Structure 1
Amino acid sequence: MAAARTRLAEAGIDTPGTDARLLLAHVLGLTHKELSLKLLRGFDVPAEQVRSFDDCLTRRAGREPLQHITGTTGFRHLDLRLGPGVFIPRPETELLIDPAIAHAAALRSDDEHTGNGRARVIRILDMCTGTGALALAAATEIPGSEVHAVELSAEACRWAELNIAATAEAVAAAGSTVTLHAGDVAEVVPGLGPFDIVVTNPPYVPEATQPDIPEVTGYDPAIALYGGGADGMQTPARIIKLAAEALRAGGLLVIEHDETQAAAIQQACAAAGLSGAATHTDYTGRDRFTTAERLEGP
């Protein structure tokens, strides 16, 4: 483990110790907690698994994403499958689900106050779903929801299909459904509404600030990264307009964006007829996502 940490650190990996542990756990078929307990006691690793671990370290030192090597990533309470051709969900995107959960609870509370004893089905739209992370988190954490996920990339759709299948029992246990729609949001979304909640992590990286990170530029598909134009706002503005048209009165939009785009996102929300746009920060204090409501609608 010490040698693995040194090897990854020399390759420029920011979290060499964590990556080494996760790779060894992957090779041994253990959880991170199980590996930690075994490391406390000390143990011998069979020669075949030593070779597998070395192969994994070689790939990671070459700046292949950890998630591509293990084939999975955690997202809130989910274990998602992924690989080449789909964007790797980031921890900060997990934050978008919290306002969605709160809004769904508020909608159902309003129903109770009006004497409607049945909990309404919450209709949720996830545009640019990628792995299906936001759609599946919403379906499993907002019981009784009807979730529609839209994705343009055929490669990403294949991963979303795998994750939807792998999470089918959890979705059913929550009394929810998830339906994947392949195609351009502009063509698919108008026929799906109205919705109570729209969550989306669209391509938004400005062309003027392209990341200099090998794991991003070499593996995340460009279609999932760049929002169009120097400021990256072409796709987000398009998504906001579609969301506003798809939301019913009282509906909520939650959209992730670049830290430089907060003002532009709020302006796009206002132009689309959404109200109360508010920007929220991520774990590092950077402006990361914005919420806005449609006060009147279908």
Structure 2
Amino acid sequence: MDRKPLRLAILEGERVLTAAGIPSARAEAEMLAAHLLGVERTKLMMFPLVDQSVVDSLEQLVRQRASRTPLQHLTGTAAFGRVTLAVGPGVFVPRPETEQLLEWALSRLRGLRNPVVADLCTGSGGLALALAHERPDAEVLAVENDPAALTWARGNAERRRQAGDTSVHVLEGDVTDPGLLAEREEGVDLLVCNPPYVPEGTPVPPEVGDHDPPAAVFAGRDGLEVLRHVVAHAARLLRHGGGVAVEHDDTHGGSVPALLAARPALTDVRAHNDLAGRPRFATARRESGEEPPSG
């Protein structure tokens, strides 16, 4: 059987993806080829010639990606921090920009021994598992209410458990419940959250609108419906000196820090931009003193 140059198949894939408006067309064509061959992208040069079946399979994957099926749904995985997550239909695909929040969270834990971490709206478990990987001494509580996302998170946690990360506990819970994690009040060292935060009606790419679960993306007219609950939980769950970091929409650069600052129990509120200079997440620290009753 004649073998075909992989380089030419990748170039054709790049052409098709570029025509479809995929920004990183060459990189994605290479990632799809690496996925088919079961190797890292950097090892593609070791396969100058491939069977026709590989070329045909690559063409099929490229067509699916050109139709805006998420790359991660085609490969079945998403890298986040230093862990690899299984992802697919029914769960939000973690984004690279959230890794800045991860970096902040790890810096916040520096110097703490055996910290307790809560990851609300965990989705596939990305933040929780990446934190546990870097801090195996931490107890990490990964909270999610969507049944499909819970299945993905539990599967990812089990795979990480088999790899030695044993400290993540995936819990079913709803952030709109004012008593969420009641047994942990004032006992959490770090609370992180990448919640749904896009205002309803906001145009989104097809990869998001057609494939991410709407409940993991949109959060009311202003995009703050879930975030308000998350901020309330931070004020209640964090121990004195504990930290909170929440991701938000780039239109929330003023509103989310204001929500945090409105809680007397939270102080040292700071806004953080992503690498493109857009508002991306906000942080605060738990101060001592009683949180006034709500309502």
Output the TM-score relative to the length of structure 2. Answer: 0.89
Choose from 203, 206, 209 the match for 2:202: 209
Does 2:241 correspond to 1:250?
Answer: yes
4+ residue segments displaced more than 6 Å: none
Contact 1:126 1:147 in 2 (8 A): yes
Q: Deviations over 1:15-36 (max 9, x none)?
A: 111111001111111111111x
Q: 1:179 to 1:29 in 2, by over 3 A?
A: same
The residue correspondences of 1:2-81 to structure 2 (distance < 5 A) are 2-35=11-44, 37-38=45-46, 43-81=48-86
**Preserved contact between residue 190 and residue 242 of structure 2 (Cα < 8 Å):** yes
Residue 296, structure 1, aligned to residue 291, structure 2: no
Secondary structure, aligned partner of 1:209:
coil
How many angstroms apart in 1 are the aligned matches of 2:42 and 2:180? 43
For 2:61 and 2:194, locate their aligned partners in 1 and report how far apart those are by CA, in whole Å: 30
CA distance in 2, matches of 1:7, 1:101: 40
Counterpart in the other structure of 1:167? 160
Equivalent residue number for residue 94 of structure 1: 99
CA distance in 2, matches of 1:260, 1:190: 32
Give how far 1:99 is off.
2.1
Unpaired runs of at least 5, structure 2: 1-9, 291-295
TM-score normalised by structure 1 residue count: 0.89
Cα drift, residue 169 of structure 1: 4.3
Q: Hey, what does 2:250 align to over in structure 1? A: 259
What corresponds to 1:235 in structure 2? 226
The match for 2:133 is: 140
Give 1:210 deviation, angstroms: 3.3
Equivalent residue, structure 2, for 1:223: 215
CA separation in 2, counterparts of 1:75 and 1:100?
Answer: 14
Partner of 2:262: 271
Output the amino acid matched with 1:276: D
Q: Which runs of 5+ in 1 are unaligned?
A: 109-119
AA aligned to 1:61 is: A
Tell me the matched-pair count: 277
Per-residue deviation, 1:11: 1.5
